[in-house]
Structure 1
Amino acid sequence: MIREEMLFRIADDRTFEQAALETFRFQSERCAPYREYLGLIGCDPRQVQSVDDIPFLPIGVFKWREVYCGEERPEIVFTSSATTGMTPSRHPMRSLALYEEAFRTAFRLFYGEPRRLSLYALLPNYLEREGSSLVYMADRLIADCGSGGFYLHDYDRLLRDMAADPKPKILLGVSYALWELAERYAPKLEHTVVMETGGMKGRREELPKEEFHRILCDAFGTEAIHSEYGMAELTSQAYSRGGGIFRTPPWMRVFVRDVNDPFDLHPAGGRGGIDIVDLANRYSCAFIQTEDIGRLLSDGSFSIEGRIDHSEIRGCNLLIQ
């Protein structure tokens, strides 16, 4: 059995493949919804010899079933920010220490030591509900930084605090709140990385990502808008430093599937549904068929282009009880 701390030391394809196969065998036995799904699609785990052959669990199953294989009670259950009328996903997290190791290691990989930075979190819709994995992550990273904080709708206080802070800064914001800040104030932010996470949450019209980022760049006086790609059903995050191109930490990989045949994976350069291997999902399911559509590049990076039509009702029908 792979030790948890070894997940964050994966350094090459061979080690990733070994860890993925071991994780698959562990979860195909211990995670009841995943085990049932494998049986329903006719997959014999003993015949799976490559990560390319591992089936991905439709992400919608997290809405209807307990996707969990820990022996102990989970320390926390993270929930998704479901649109009104939709059922939120639930992700039982056996170990908060494992979650913290995942997001801290990835953050250091992409942005360096937190103590050198200040993190300002403009996350109104997440702060107004319980069970947000994003709020949990931001709270711990703010503590690691030793400066910054959470802000709801008080843009004046946010800008005053940032202007008085001499450290390099990250402004992490939900898209609609960053847009409101840009429209109302158009502040020129010096020594600041602007990082958006998530869509408009029904608050504003959805724009093509390139157009939206251009609006923010013009308003904030920055060359690029960074992005964080994560979700309640994952333990890890991918980051973009601009141009909408995301890169993953070494224990996380992205695949692209045909939107009409979930078992047909496209080669690099292809466009289709996004599948994710997140080995930090040790005690739930590490192999997730998302409802996002995008493109996989030759170096393993990827872009997100939108959502698959009717994604709310696709994929998980076999396991709804």
Structure 2
Amino acid sequence: MTRDDIVDDLLNFIAAADPSEDAFNELALKVHDHQFQHNAPYAKFARSRGKTPRTVKHWSDIPPVPINAFKTLDLTCCRPEDAVAVFMTSGTTQAGRRGKSYHAGLEVYDASMRRNFAQRFMRGDTAIKMGILFPTTRMMPNSSLAHYLDLAITGFGTPDSEWLIGADGIDLARLIHALEQAEATGQSYALLGASFSLVHAMDALQAEGRRFHLPPGSRILDTGGFKGQSRELELDVFYDALSQTFGVARDDCIGMYGMTELSSQFYDNGNATCPSVKSGPHWVCSRVVNPLTGMAVPKGETGVLAHTDLAHYNIVTTILTEDAAIEVDDGFQLLGRVSGAEAVGCSLAVDAFLKAAEAG
């Protein structure tokens, strides 16, 4: 299949109302075949595991690529110089080396974000006034999160929505004005940003002695990640603080979980309890696995998250994260970074991948 064929199939699958598990599996195998043919480092790795298009019969047979491999190899089905966008990780680990995801086009990425965001964050609303607590795409052109938030504000924000971070940090005066205006008019308001930017905003408002009570329908999107850029809070403390500062119920403080190494995101249904249960859209399947064996651990036990994201068609669909989690009935509970035996298992998985992918 050509790239255009893959893209058409993916766009149709993302738009589908209720696709079957068989349809997911069929498309996953097509995308795996495409990646095996056009992504040389991945093909070497898959072949070393005996996972060729001839032997892979189910999406769960696709070997997961450890996310740290993205910091060493160019995993892409197009030439890196032909990519229309290159999203890079923050470089907060491994001596600042940044993982890269090369996108031959953004039509599938954008469709994935919009469909999922409409269902999980907008909750039936077509538009809401937004304040974005994150740098713009002009400021951070290689940030997948900046692109994600740009899609949010342009596709779902009212015309008076705005970015609230500039070169000098948070524009506190504009933030306060937007919050006061929402209180005065009763117009629902959405505040979106990374965990660290939300902490900075709360600290600045506390220094001014300000708290707000946003009107019904208001909500907060926490895209995760303190990354050493703010004080780090326990989840319960963090969501309590958001609720108290902005007058938004914890059920309306929605957590998003995403990463540069994927093209789709996961959401919870609010954070009345922590850790919340997160889940993805129908074009993503997740497993909690033993990183040494790649086998799923029993439901209710701690393991490492592995995701198969069909929207990540130009890179690799299936990744092994470094996130500990527990599988539950409606998704998974995210526990944070792996440690102990799971961390050792992830490191060994990286070594095994690199040896296979770099072999002649």
Q: TM-score, normalised by structure 1?
A: 0.89
The 3 A distance-change label for structure 1 pair 262 and 169 is: farther
The 3 A distance-change label for structure 1 pair 126 and 245 is: farther
Are the counterparts in 1 of residues 130 and 161 from structure 2 also a CA contact under 8 Å?
Answer: yes
- Asked if 1:81 is matched to 2:90, the reply is yes
Paired AA for residue 235 in structure 1: S
TM-aligned CA deviation for residue 39 of structure 1:
2.3
Aligned to 2:119: 109
Cα distance in 1 for residues equivalent to 2:160 and 2:152: 10
Q: Secondary structure at the match of 1:88?
A: coil
Are the counterparts in 2 of residues 81 and 126 from structure 1 also a CA contact under 8 Å?
Answer: no
Cα distance in 2 for residues equivalent to 1:40 and 1:207: 42
- Corresponding residue to 1:196 among 212, 222, 225: 222
Aligned to 1:306: 336
| Structure 2: gaps spanning 5 or more residues | none
Cα distance in 1 for residues equivalent to 2:177 and 2:350: 47
**Structure number with bigger Rg:** 2
How much is the aligned-residue C-alpha RMSD, in angstroms? 2.5
Number of equivalent positions: 319
4+ residue runs over 6 A deviation: none
| Structure 1: gaps spanning 5 or more residues | none
1:29-178 residue pairs with structure 2 within 5 A?
29-70=37-78, 73-83=82-92, 85-110=95-120, 111-112=122-123, 115-124=126-135, 129-144=140-155, 145=157, 146-152=159-165, 153-165=170-182, 167-178=187-198
Aligned to 2:11: 5
TM-aligned CA deviation for residue 35 of structure 1:
0.8
The 3 A distance-change label for structure 1 pair 253 and 173 is: same
Are the counterparts in 2 of residues 199 and 206 from structure 1 also a CA contact under 8 Å?
Answer: no
Cα distance in 2 for residues equivalent to 1:180 and 1:188: 16
Identity %: 26
Cα distance in 2 for residues equivalent to 1:92 and 1:78: 7
Are the counterparts in 2 of residues 193 and 226 from structure 1 also a CA contact under 8 Å?
Answer: yes
The 3 A distance-change label for structure 1 pair 88 and 126 is: farther
Are the counterparts in 1 of residues 134 and 193 from structure 2 also a CA contact under 8 Å?
Answer: yes
TM-aligned CA deviation for residue 262 of structure 1:
4.1
The 3 A distance-change label for structure 1 pair 140 and 51 is: closer
Q: TM-score, normalised by structure 2?
A: 0.80
Q: Secondary structure at the match of 2:190?
A: strand
Per-residue deviation, residues 257-284 of structure 1 (Å, max 9, x unmatched): 114x241112433321010111001111
Paired AA for residue 135 in structure 1: A
Q: Secondary structure at the match of 1:70?
A: coil
TM-aligned CA deviation for residue 4 of structure 1:
2.8
- Corresponding residue to 1:233 among 261, 286, 289: 261
